[in-house]
Amino acid sequence: MQQTFIQAYPKLLQPSVAVAGLWLAHGDEPLLQQWLINALRPHWREQNYAIKRIELISVKSWQEVLSELGSQSLFDDASALIVTGNHKPDKATIAELEQFAIDAQAGAHSHSLLWLTPKQDKRSQASKWFAPFAKYGQVIDGNLYDERARQQLLQVQAEQFGLRLSQEAWQLLMSHTEHHLLSAYQTLWRLSYLFAPKLSENNNDSLSPTTDNRNSDAASHKNLALGITDLQAALVSDAQFSVFDLSDAMLTGNSMQVAKIMFQLQATDEPTTLVLWAIAKDMRLVMALMDGQDPQSLGIWRSKQGLYSQACRRHSLAQTAEWPDLLYRCDQAIKGLIRQPAWELLLQAALELSGKKLFAA
């Protein structure tokens, strides 16, 4: 049976899972492989498995794997082997693995074998060594192919922490962490301690982002709803001003305050991705309003609709037409793809929105 990680992972978080037999997880994201182990480990413990790791240093290492699976312990009911390495089994080993999987399905034994490999292409998946896992075991594709799948997986983790983020908060999180899975997960982890400390304290295993994060207490409570203001608290910042202060200054057209806030944010090493997110959000909302869209449908709070209207009156369509290119250059500078300093371009964009040009045309 073959599944994607996002299909398999939520099922493994359920109370009862059959773990005997062959498991193969392939992918190039180490965090997903760790999450898979974390999801399986409680089931192994509950069923009194002896857990052991074996590194494949050659094809002959498979004999050690088979020997370990064939051994019996006086203290444990079965063995769970976590095998790493990319050495493929030979013909004789393939036959033994196939028989191992068939016996597990028949209930002849309860041993479990999890093999973690790098990403396997279609040609590799058509090889003979892959067949026993696909036909008699569980194959998990541990690769994330788009940002939607990444966010879906992070939403599962947020639920495990007892959190529920608004759409705006998710957009900020993904932008701030530059779509980096570990960074986004660590931010969710911090949020769980800031806003759901009781849930976190009841789960000693969640003290590290790389340990078992199953939280039955969190699952039994209603998830806490968090917005972008709450998320901001989890983003480490020593700045006297926040990006929300910057937003107000840009929309009111206070260019002096914009420059003051920008220099303060730069001096305190505010993440450039977070500053760009704030500028881009306001620029896109102003462009949408000037295009005739309704402020309420855009999710603009009533208390800030006047500020956005004020910003719209300061600009023409010809001016706002240049903004997407400026935002793109800001993003390139942050990523080091162009030589112009990122903070210089961010200041230029912030001042543009306030109605002041940094450089004369």
More confident position, 66 or 221: 66
Q: What is the mean pLDDT of residues 330-347?
A: 92
88: DSSP letter: P
Architecture per CATH, 147-234: Orthogonal Bundle (1.10)
Instruction: Tell whether the model's pLDDT for residue 60 goes beyond 90.
Output: yes
**Full-model pTM:** 0.62
Instruction: Match 């003979």 to its residue by tokens.
Output: 128
Enumerate the CATH 1.20.272.10 domain ranges in the chain, comma separated. 243-354
Closest C-alpha to 299, from 151, 167, 152, 175: 167
Enumerate the CATH 3.40.50.300 domain ranges in the chain, comma separated. 2-141
Mean residue pLDDT across the chain = 85
Instruction: Tell whether the model's pLDDT for residue 31 goes beyond 60.
Output: yes
Report percent pLDDT > 90 for the chain.
53
Predicted confidence at residue 94, as pLDDT, reads 95
75: DSSP letter: S
User: Is the CA virtual torsion 68, 73, 78, 81 positive or negative?
Assistant: negative
Whether 20 and 78 have beta carbons less than 8 Å apart is answered as yes
* 107-140 per-position pLDDT tens digit: 999 999 999 999 999 999 999 999 999 999 999 9
* 83-102 per-position pLDDT tens digit: 999 999 999 999 999 999 99
Closest C-alpha to 134, from 143, 148, 152, 122: 122
Select 2-141's CATH number: 3.30.70.260, 3.40.50.300, 1.10.390.10, 3.40.50.1370.
3.40.50.300
Q: What is the CA angle 5-11-13, rounded to 5?
A: 100
Select 243-354's CATH number: 1.10.240.10, 1.20.120.1200, 1.20.272.10, 1.10.645.10.
1.20.272.10
Enumerate the CATH 1.10.8 domain ranges in the chain, comma separated. 147-234
* 252-297 per-position pLDDT tens digit: 999 988 998 998 888 778 889 989 999 999 999 999 999 999 888 8
Whether 104 and 111 have beta carbons less than 8 Å apart is answered as yes
More confident position, 352 or 178: 352
Instruction: Tell whether the model's pLDDT for residue 195 goes beyond 90.
Output: no
Residue 236 pLDDT level (bands cut at 50, 70, 90):
low
Q: What is the mean pLDDT of residues 11-32?
A: 92
Q: What is the mean pLDDT of residues 229-239?
A: 64
Predicted confidence at residue 59, as pLDDT, reads 93
Alpha-carbon distance of 282 to 199, in angstroms, equals: 35
